[in-house]
Amino acid sequence: MNTYIVSTMSDSGKTAIVSALLRILSTRGFHVTPFKAQNMSLNSYPSIEGGEIALAQAMQAYVAGLMPSIYYNPILIKPMLSDKAEYIILGKPRAQLSFNDYLNNNLIRRLAVNAVKASIRKLTMEYDMVIGEGAGSAYEPNLASRDLANFRPAEWLNANVFVVLDIDRGGSFIQGLGLMRSLPPRWRRLVKGFIINKFRGDEKLLNTAIKWLEERTGKPVLGVLPYIDDLWLWPEDSMDLKPIGNGPLDIALIAYPYISNFNDVYPLILEDDVTVRIVRSPKELGEPHLVILPGSKNVVASLEWMRRVGLDKALMRIKGSTVILGICGGFQAMSKVLSDPHGLEAGVPGNYDGLGLVNVNTVYGVKKIVSLSKAVGLRDELEGVEVKGYEIHRGIPQYIGDEPLVMIKERNGRPVQQVDGVFREKDLVIGITLHDSLGDPNFRSFVLNIAREIAGLPKRNSQGLTSIDLLMSHIDKFSSIVKERLDIDFMINDR
């Protein structure tokens, strides 16, 4: 029986619970697949078809033993400006619209609906079970008639629906009752029960409230999951941005607006000598051993913010004494000039000043490169060494004085020859387009050992563990808890 997990709010733990269910059921021998009809996230990932999907559904694919596919997340919405987003349907960028235009553009809406239905048909034919995930609040009166994220795709899947209630933020039992009383009868019948998530304390204290909710809704509570503070799964949005570690190597992550794919820093959890701080001002920056400029969906807007708060000048002050690493959009931000003739990055066509940390310009084309990629190092300790990662970008580096750091040799299994990255040894500035490059032990050792030398710490080689290894260790830990505390057989049986 297909299963759909929804909630009354964002960041309630839906993604983690779906991931655990996928892991548990796949280890039981079921051929299961993730599915999220519509996701809004700046964190994305290449699919096996070469399209773009939400990072969370790529993660869920891996934990289910699958490669990411466009059919696991047929609609991805990537916010660009306060009133506009990029709409990616079945892996391809289709439009840049306001949300109101998206709701009322008949052509795009028809394309979106057809993509969701086609994905459901394909997945239900090819898999034993689909484990779906809703988005945000499961029922909003102003959006219900055009819902493409929650109960409508669950209905098309003929799925059992379970509602996650985030007890950590309070009001969960009232929210569960309110949702059930708000739903139209045909959707109310799909709901088979509740899951209490993020509880701290003695579960016996909930007995009265659980009985109260079950009596008023006629739906059982299937279990209570504890609050887990150190669960590092791939993030859906910036609400998941949090510090890492408590080691002597001081690392500052610049958290500018439109930050994307900041899971690039998660593999640093594997290094016990690091501390990663979240920085949003020059005062918070201080003098770290390493600064990371992460990806950004709107590099120009992120640059404007850095100038407004003074982080551009703060970075220039520590250049040469602190390693500065730019990844994808962060690498582009370090350019001298960013040329956006079509306005697809900034929203308005034009040439924009970068930080000028490298002798490279960035030119944004119409075509978006979306690929699982392999590169080989061209210099220093990386010479001849393979570096794996993934690419999601329109910006192409144009070299005007600096030498490339790597050569991208393969995209989605096809050979290419594309120079990339930079290493200005004198200024301690490193740039690379490959997301998840820090998840590659070779590149992680290269960057961290330069920073360790500055910090007076001994160099070391990473243990060969990748970002996927880290993911699997954490999902296995969470899955063991879910297996003990949820009635999974009830969830997957026909009702």
Q: Which residues are catalytic?
A: 328, 435
At 338, the amino acid letter reads L
Radius of gyration of the chain (CA): 23
State the pairing for strand pair 84-89/92-97.
antiparallel
SS3 281: coil
β-bridge mates for residue 167, sequence order: none
Integer Cα distance of 237 and 171 in angstroms: 23
Taking a C-beta distance cutoff of 8 angstroms, is the pair 395, 366 a contact?
A: no
Taking a C-beta distance cutoff of 8 angstroms, is the pair 48, 68 a contact?
A: yes
| Per-position b or e across 12-42, b if 16+ CB within 10 A of its CB | bbbbbbbbbbbbbbbeeebebbbbbbbbbbb
| Sheet order of strands, 32-35 included | 32-35, 129-133, 3-7, 160-166, 191-199, 221-226
Helix axes of 14-27 and 55-63: crossing angle, nearest 10 degrees: 20
DSSP state of 469: H
Chain centroid offset of residue 402 CA: 31
- Choose among 342, 276, 332: nearest CA to 301: 332
β-bridge mates for residue 105, sequence order: none
Mention every residue, 6+ apart, whose C-beta is less than 8 A from residue 106. Answer: none
Hey, how many other C-beta atoms are within 10 angstroms of the C-beta on 145? 8
Burial of 3 (0-12, 13-18, 19+ CB in 10 A): buried
Give the phi and the psi of residue 347 in degrees, each rounded to 5.
95, -25
For 70-120, list the strands marked E by DSSP.
75-81, 84-89, 92-97
Integer Cα distance of 45 and 36 in angstroms: 14
Integer Cα distance of 332 and 393 in angstroms: 10
Taking a C-beta distance cutoff of 8 angstroms, is the pair 255, 42 a contact?
A: no
Taking a C-beta distance cutoff of 8 angstroms, is the pair 354, 347 a contact?
A: no
| Sheet order of strands, 274-279 included | 244-245, 274-279, 249-254, 290-293, 323-327, 429-432, 422-424
Helix axes of 467-485 and 55-63: crossing angle, nearest 10 degrees: 70
Give the phi and the psi of residue 88 in degrees, each rounded to 5.
-110, 120
- Choose among 446, 458, 423: nearest CA to 273: 458
